[in-house]
């Protein structure tokens, strides 16, 4: 069984972000890490491999510049088998339409993929669109928001997944190959082991270009994108500190609070 | 291309998801600039009755597909039908709620039509003839504006409760057009084999009021006063990750960067410190109230009103007071 995990790098979730007048975002000396949601995807791939008695290969791929290596290395350190970076200067400026095209072309090139795992969304651009777009492009079963893989049958080529929707869990049976978009709650991602970190440092990370994956230059980068980002800015700041309500008694305090909330018309 | 706006009306067991009506409202506003009609797309089984509702909420036209293959939301038949309708009628825009299903359907339709899909918009307005969407990025620490400059239709998914829900007007009239599904059952690989509804109806995204508990509630039983207050206010119950990770309450209740993003009118945070990752999920709430015994807790920087003290004293007292006032 060949499992592919798609991942990308993001600034650490605790980073303090600033944005300059030109719209460049910077995160000071905060580290670049694997997109936190993607750790669930890597973990799930490793759990599947373990359940199949090692009878699976886990490849992690990332479309991105040099910095994308951070995500690949973390996945290898957790236990993935190999990491491939997909990059070409003409990929610069890709929206999800173009990124999903590039990832789908890379997966097509591999030819033997049974399962593609994703994180729920990237914590920077936070679109959450890539998993379903890749599934749709490849014609793989589209299983997003998966909180549990209830059954995976590589021989019968089927998967049963529980998807978390607003009203509850939808159980879906679908054929392989499939795309599984993972969410938190599906597992507890492991920490990289010391041996894993050593392996990740020594591993080779091939880079596949647009030509390598047979990508049409008209479908990548800004030219292949539908969405253009026009401005990035900080949200208006809140009024500042809370108005602390403090009266003689607990009862009086909550009475004042209720008065205020009624005046605000929120209750 | 027409100047029409398509809106996908999401329903589950005949119940329409809140953001769908909000999207109809947004479409009505946009159609004032764009001209053209607001067309509701309703797919399901036994959903004819919803067509009238859609017209009352603001649709001029309804494309209604009522068929067993559409009974459950599945990406394959829904995308095929939505994309085909768009090819036939050439709308300028397609809007839908940024719910789990909407965030699947929108981008899939966009790939099918080779166009752009802007996720999770909190505002939409025309600037120099171009529709500009505002959306949060980096867990809401920043905002960005996006356009779909060339391709049509442009697809937008709208965050729950970011757009006002219109008042239905039963006297409005409109045209209902029956349409047939594109895929036959044997052409749809995914089969829905079950649905376990969440008990207690968490649906945080739609809630007008949320009462949330954090590590400060101290244990699973500590959520009882939180639930009681929520019942009094007809509110949903939220939680911080610390409370979820401790196993006090299921993950479905988690608010924050790795949980749900919510935007209620009122968010009452009890025993929650207000870590940046928690704020990521609730900072756009209209009014935030914090009850916390630590006056230095960061939540007080975000909250409009604060009570410094023991939640086990204040939360039950608040529920009592509200029962008196609201006559519940
Ligand atoms: C990648 C990543 C993602 C994350 N995602 C999320 C997320 O989605 N959602 C989330 O919530 N967190 C998330 N976190 C965790 C976050 O950083 C915090 O650890 C978490 O929010 C803390 O939860 P808390 O406020 O309940 O607990 P604490 O920070 O421990 O705060 C408990 C508060 O309760 C108060 N308190 C205690 N007893 C009482 C009492 N009797 N009465 C009144 N007040 C009392 C204390 O003063 C304290 O302020 C994430 C972290 C990381 C690294
Ligand atoms: N450039 C990329 N390369 C590989 N995987 C990606 C890339 N961008 C996004 N993904 C994957 O798609 C998921 C959703 O990302 P997004 O749609 O950008 O929010 C992430 O969790 C990753 O698993």
Binding site membership of A121 for ligand 2 (Cβ less than 6 Å): yes
Per-residue pLDDT at B130:
94
The DSSP line for B79-132 is HHHHHHHHHHH--SEEEEE-SHHHHHHHHHHHHHTT--EEEEESEEEEETTEEE
Alpha-carbon distance of B135 to B124, in angstroms, equals 9
Confidence (pLDDT) at A238: 63
Q: Looking at residue B248, which CATH number applies to its domain?
A: 3.40.50.1220
Neighbours of B115 (CB within 10 A): 20
Contact (CB, 8 A) for B263 and B19: no
CA distance B186 to B179: 19
Report whether residue B260 contacts ligand 1, using a CB cutoff of 6 Å.
no
User: For residue B202, what pLDDT is reported?
Assistant: 57
**B200 Cα–ligand 1 center, Å:** 23
**Ligand lying nearest the CA atom of residue A122:** 2
- Residue finishing a domain among B152, B187, B222: B187
Residue A265 in tokens: 């018309």
Measure CB to CB from residue B107 to each of A133, A163, A167 and give the nearest one: A133
Task: Return the residue whose CA atom lies nearest to atom 37 of ligand 1.
Answer: B216
Q: Are residues B39 and B104 in the same domain?
A: yes
| B208 and B181 fall within a common domain | no
Summarize pLDDT for B121-130 with one digit per residue, the tens: 999 999 998 9
Examine the pLDDT at A237 and tell me if it is beyond 80: no
Kindly compute the dihedral angle of the four CA atoms of residues B302, B305, B307, B308, in this order, to the nearest 10 degrees: 40
pLDDT at A194 over 90: yes
Q: Which of A25, A228, A261 sits opposite B287 (nearest CB)?
A: A261
> What per-residue confidence (pLDDT) applies to A14?
83
Helix (H) or strand (E) holding B60: none
CB A34 within 8 A of CB A124: no
Q: Is residue B199 part of a domain?
A: no
- ipTM, two decimals, is 0.89
Eight-class DSSP state of B265: S
Q: Calculate the dihedral angle through the C-alpha atoms of A179, A140, B197, B265, rounding to the nearest 10 degrees.
A: 70
In the predicted model, what is the mean pLDDT of residues B106-135? Answer: 97
Nearest CA to ligand 2 atom 12: A130
Number of domains in chain B: 2
For residues B133 and B266, membership in a common domain is answered with: no
For ligand 1, atom 11, name the residue with the nearest CA: B240
For residue B200, the model assigns a pLDDT of 61
Kindly report, residue by residue over A116-165, the tens digit of the pLDDT: 999 999 999 999 999 999 999 999 999 999 999 999 999 999 999 999 99
Listed in sequence order, the residues at least 6 apart from A99 whose beta carbon sits closer than 8 Å to its beta carbon are A63, A91, A130
Q: Is residue B193 part of a domain?
A: no
Q: Which residues contact A117 (CB under 8 A, 6 or more apart)?
A: A3, A4, A5, A6, A41, A42, A44, A45, A179, A180, A182
Put simply, whether B143 touches A (Cβ < 8 Å) is yes
Segment A83-93 shows an average pLDDT of 98
* pLDDT one-digit tens code per residue, B248-303: 999 889 999 888 989 999 999 999 999 989 999 999 899 999 999 999 999 999 99
pLDDT of residue B5: 98
In this complex, is the C-beta atom of B126 within 8 Å of any C-beta atom belonging to chain A? no
Supply the mean pLDDT for chain B: 95
Tell me the chain B residues in contact with residue A37 when contact means C-beta distances shorter than 8 Å.
258
Ordered alpha helix ranges (H), chain A? 38-51, 69-78, 96-110, 130-138, 194-202, 210-213, 250-263
For helices A130-138 and B75-89, what crossing angle results, to 10°? Answer: 80
Which among A181, A63, A179 is positioned nearest to A116, based on CA atoms? A179
Q: Which ligand has the nearest atom to the CA of B280?
A: 1
Q: Give the domain-ending residue among B187, B221, B242.
A: B187
Q: A236 falls in which pLDDT band (50, 70, 90)?
A: confident
Question: Cα–Cα distance between B131 and B110 in angstroms, integer?
Answer: 17
Q: Residue A224: its pLDDT value, please? A: 98
| pTM, two decimal places | 0.89
Q: Which ligand is nearest to the CA of A118?
A: 2
Q: What is the chain A residue with the closest CA to B148?
A: A227
Contact list, A244 vs chain B (CB under 8 Å)? 295, 300, 305-308
Q: Is B286 part of a structural domain of the chain?
A: yes
Residues of B with Cβ-Cβ distance to A226 under 8 angstroms: 110, 114-117, 148, 150-151, 154
| Same domain, residue pair B209 and B159 | no
Residue nearest to atom 30 of ligand 1 (CA): B215
Q: Quick one: CA torsion of B159, B163, B167, B171, rounded to 10 degrees?
A: -80
Residue B199's pLDDT band (cuts 50, 70, 90): low
Query: Which pLDDT score, from 0 to 100, does residue B201 have?
Result: 58
- pLDDT value of residue B328: 58
Give, as one character, the DSSP assignment of residue A20: -
Q: Please tell me whether residues B21 and B170 are part of one structural domain.
A: yes
- Ligand 1 within 6 A of B256 CB? yes
pLDDT band with cut points at 50, 70 and 90 for residue B141: confident
Looking from the CA of residue B299, the nearest atom of ligand 1 is: 49
Average pLDDT over residues A225-230: 96
Q: Is residue B294 lining ligand 1, measured as CB closer than 6 Å?
A: yes
- Ligand 2 atom closest to the CA of A120, numbered from 1: 21
Indicate whether B208 belongs to any domain: yes
Same domain, B34 and B94: yes
Q: Is the pLDDT of residue B184 over 60?
A: yes
Task: Tell me whether residues B307 and A246 touch, CB distance under 8 A.
Answer: yes
For atom 14 of ligand 2, the residue with the nearest CA is A121
Look up residue B234 and give its two tokens. 């007809």
Domain boundaries, chain A: 2-224
Is pLDDT at B136 greater than 90 in this prediction? yes
- Which CATH number do you get for residue B62? 3.40.50.620
Are B83 and B135 within one domain? Answer: yes
Could you give the count of Cα atoms lying within 13 Å of B47 in the half-sphere of its Cβ? 31
Lowest-confidence region among A9-23, A91-105, B73-87: A9-23
Domain A2-224 has CATH 3.40.50.11810: no
Yes or no, beta carbons of A242 and B300 under 8 Å apart:
yes
- pLDDT score for B326: 86
Q: Is the CB of B212 under 6 A from ligand 1?
A: no
Count of other CB atoms within 10 angstroms of residue B112: 18
Note whether B168 and B291 are same-domain residues.
no
Domain span including residue B294: 204-326
State which ligand 1 atom lies nearest to the alpha carbon of B297.
49
Question: Which of B187, B213, B235 lies at the terminal end of a domain, its last residue?
Answer: B187
Does B228 map to a domain? yes
Are B193 and A175 in contact (CB < 8 Å)?
no
């Amino acid at each position: 069984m060949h499992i592919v995990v798609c991942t990308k790098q993001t600034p650490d979730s605790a980073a303090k972000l600033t944005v300059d007048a030109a719209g460049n975002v910077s995160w000071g000396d905060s580290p670049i890490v694997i997109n936190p949601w993607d750790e669930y995807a890597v973990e799930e791939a490793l759990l599947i491999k373990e359940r199949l008695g090692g009878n699976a290969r886990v490849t992690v791929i990332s479309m991105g510049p040099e910095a994308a290596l951070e995500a690949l290395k973390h996945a290898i350190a957790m236990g993935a088998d190999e990491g491939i970076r997909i990059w070409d200067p003409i990929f610069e400026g890709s929206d999800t339409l173009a990124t999903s095209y590039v990832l789908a072309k890379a997966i097509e090139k591999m030819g033997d993929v049974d399962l593609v795992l994703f994180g729920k969304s990237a914590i920077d651009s936070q679109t959450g669109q890539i998993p379903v777009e890749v599934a749709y492009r490849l014609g793989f079963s589209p299983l997003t928001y998966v909180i549990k893989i209830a059954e995976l049958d590589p021989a019968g080529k089927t998967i049963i997944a529980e998807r978390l929707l607003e009203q509850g869990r939808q159980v879906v049976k679908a054929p392989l190959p499939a795309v599984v978009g993972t969410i938190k709650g599906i597992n507890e991602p492991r920490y990289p082991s010391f041996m894993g970190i050593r392996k990740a440092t020594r591993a080779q990370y091939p880079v596949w270009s647009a030509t390598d994956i047979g990508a049409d230059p008209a479908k990548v980068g800004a030219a292949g994108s539908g969405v253009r980002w026009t401005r990035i800015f900080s949200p208006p700041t809140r009024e500042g500190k809370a108005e602390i309500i403090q009266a003689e008694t607990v009862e009086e305090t909550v009475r004042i609070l209720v008065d205020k909330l009624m005046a605000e018309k929120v209750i | 291309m027409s100047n029409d706006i398509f809106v996908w009306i999401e329903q589950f067991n005949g119940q329409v998801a809140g953001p769908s009506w909000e999207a109809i409202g947004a479409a009505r506003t946009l159609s004032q600039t764009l001209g053209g009609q607001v067309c509701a797309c309703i797919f399901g089984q036994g959903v004819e009755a919803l067509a009238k509702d859609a017209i009352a909420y603001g649709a001029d036209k309804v494309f209604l597909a009522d068929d067993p293959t559409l009974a459950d939301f599945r990406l394959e038949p829904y995308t095929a039908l939505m994309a085909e309708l768009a090819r036939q009628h050439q709308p300028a825009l397609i809007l839908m709620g940024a719910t789990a299903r909407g965030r699947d359907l929108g981008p899939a339709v966009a790939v099918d039509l080779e166009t752009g899909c802007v996720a999770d918009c909190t505002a939409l307005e025309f600037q120099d003839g171009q529709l500009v969407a505002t959306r949060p990025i980096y867990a809401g620490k920043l905002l960005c504006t996006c356009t779909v400059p060339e391709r049509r239709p442009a697809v937008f998914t709208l965050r729950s409760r970011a757009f006002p829900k219109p008042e239905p007007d039963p006297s409005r009239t409109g045209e209902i057009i029956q349409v047939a599904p594109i895929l036959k059952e044997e052409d749809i690989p995914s089969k829905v084999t079950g649905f376990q509804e969440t008990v207690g109806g968490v649906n945080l995204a739609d809630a007008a009021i949320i009462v949330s508990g954090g590590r400060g509630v101290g244990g699973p039983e500590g959520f009882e006063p939180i639930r009681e207050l929520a019942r009094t206010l007809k509110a949903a119950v939220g939680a911080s990750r610390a409370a979820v990770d401790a196993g006090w309450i299921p993950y479905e209740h988690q608010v924050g960067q790795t949980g749900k993003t919510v935007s209620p009118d009122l968010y009452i945070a009890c025993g929650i410190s207000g870590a940046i990752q928690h704020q990521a999920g609730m900072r756009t709430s209209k009014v935030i109230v914090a009850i916390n015994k630590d006056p230095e807790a960061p939540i007080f920087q975000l909250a409009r009103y604060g009570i410094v003290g023991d939640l086990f004293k204040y939360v039950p007292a608040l529920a009592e007071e509200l029962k008196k006032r609201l006559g519940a």
